[in-house]
């Protein structure tokens, strides 16, 4: 069974991610300037962190920096929402499902059960909003992944 981390706020770039035990596992914080977002930092409770530099279009995870253009490529044609992301030896296919309400990251090789699933925040007028949630497979324990 997947392990859900729930975004506690409506804005996923400025909130905490809590597990089923209500403990904070990660926090996200974003700095902005006159021209929009500058950086988003994802900090783990264990001290691990990552940074998205929106202006330079780079990711930095545990000190390793990569440019977006080197990480992602289009697969599946012009109108396809499918992309491939590569970080080191691991390759993931990303595809939107359920009318863009869900994003699946499936390993290109290995066990499909290692798929990570992200569901977006869904506001409702007459009942409680549905928070954004990211579901990790139980075997994905290493924060460097």
List the domain boundaries for the chain.
3-136
Mean pLDDT of the chain: 85
**Alpha-carbon span 90 to 87, nearest angstrom:** 6
Pairing of strands 133-136, 3-7: antiparallel
Q: Domain 3-136, what fold?
A: Porin (2.40.160)
Tell me if the pTM is above 0.85.
no
H or E element that contains 69: helix 68-71
Mean pLDDT of 61-83: 80
Of all residues in the chain, the percent with pLDDT exceeding 90 is: 38
At 112 the three-state DSSP class reads helix
């Amino acid at each position: 069974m997947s392990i859900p981390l729930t975004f506690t706020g409506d804005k996923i770039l400025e909130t905490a991610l809590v597990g089923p035990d209500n403990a904070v596992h990660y926090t996200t914080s974003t700095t902005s300037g006159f021209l929009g977002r500058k950086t988003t930092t994802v900090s783990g409770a264990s001290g691990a962190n990552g940074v998205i530099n929106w202006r330079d279009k780079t990711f930095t995870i545990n000190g390793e920096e990569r440019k977006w253009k080197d990480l992602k490529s289009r697969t599946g044609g012009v109108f396809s929402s499918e992309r491939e992301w590569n970080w080191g030896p691991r390759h993931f296919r990303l595809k939107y499902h359920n009318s863009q309400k869900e994003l699946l990251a499936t390993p290109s090789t290995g066990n499909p059960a290692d798929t990570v699933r992200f569901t977006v925040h869904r506001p409702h007028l007459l009942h409680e909003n549905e928070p954004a949630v990211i579901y990790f497979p139980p075997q994905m324990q290493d924060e460097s992944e």
